[in-house]
Amino acid sequence: MRVLVLAEDHHYEPVRKIVDRAGIRGVRITPMRGNRVQKLVGYVRCHPECNRFVVLKDLERLDEEAVRRRLEDVRRALPPGGQDKVVLVVVRRAVEAFGRIDILYNNAAVGYSTPIVVGSVEELPEEHWDRVVRINLYSVYLCCKYALPELRKTGGVILNTSSIMATGAVPGADAYTASKGGIISLSRSLAKELGPEGVRVNVLCPGTIATPMIAPILEDPEAVRRSEAKIPLGRLGTPEEVARAALFLVSDAASYITGAVLFVDGGQSV
């Protein structure tokens, strides 16, 4: 488990020295450029191994003692144990804070913008395959496993994010494609199993959405044009459009929908 510290460029080196002097382990420091929320989300998605995030921004001066104390407090707040223990603690804390769980939205993933080799099964190192599948698919299993007792009590909803790549052949993205295909199969199985208990399970399959996950495409105007040419609506999607589809599937407006796979892709999968 790690803590990711996002520091403005001019604070990066001082913060690194503070962490080194204090001997604080399990901290990763990343320089933060710009102030858009989208960029912040991008940093978080690029470091899925981190369990807590600290942003150091707009500081007139760096208080070494305050930074050290804050990082140590965050580290102590991390639950002990492996990934399963972290999920169990998160579920318990949610129930303690809100009294119940009505919706589980599994949306974590790694792909193109993360420090992972993209390649075929022959080219991909085993540790990269394991990491993609563990984050993209195993996390869905864990969250469903520990949230289901609470969702049964409320007749809740599970929404899992897959991808249009789960149903289309995309050479060179084998681990990502396999993990996203697994999400669809798992979700359909759960929908049939949990339907009699009043728990709905659905899947979102976004297409090419303008998020940091496809940063290499967004930074290349020609790549953007090539991507848009494959989409009948002629443009990339936005996170807000995916969010509206998610909101529909977890709402009472979709009360008779379970086991569904909804494509939010501008017609790209047609």
Q: Catalytic amino acids?
A: 176
**Beta-carbon contacts of residue 177 (< 8 Å; ≥ 6 apart):** 163, 165, 166, 169, 170
Please say whether the beta carbons of 154 and 105 come within 8 A: no
**Beta-carbon contacts of residue 4 (< 8 Å; ≥ 6 apart):** 27, 28, 29, 30, 43, 44, 47, 50, 52, 53, 54
Can you spell out the DSSP letters for 138-150? IHHHHHHHHHHHH
Residues 138, 143: Cα–Cα separation, whole Å: 9
Q: Whose structure tokens read 């496993």?
A: 145
Report CA Rg, the chain: 20
- 3-class DSSP assignment, residue 27: strand
Q: CA angle, corner 62, sides to 59 and 67, nearest 5? A: 105
List phi, psi (to 5°) of 56.
-110, 105
Beta-carbon neighbour count of residue 236 at 10 Å? Answer: 20
Give Cα separations from 94 to 63, 102, 261 (angstroms). 33, 11, 27
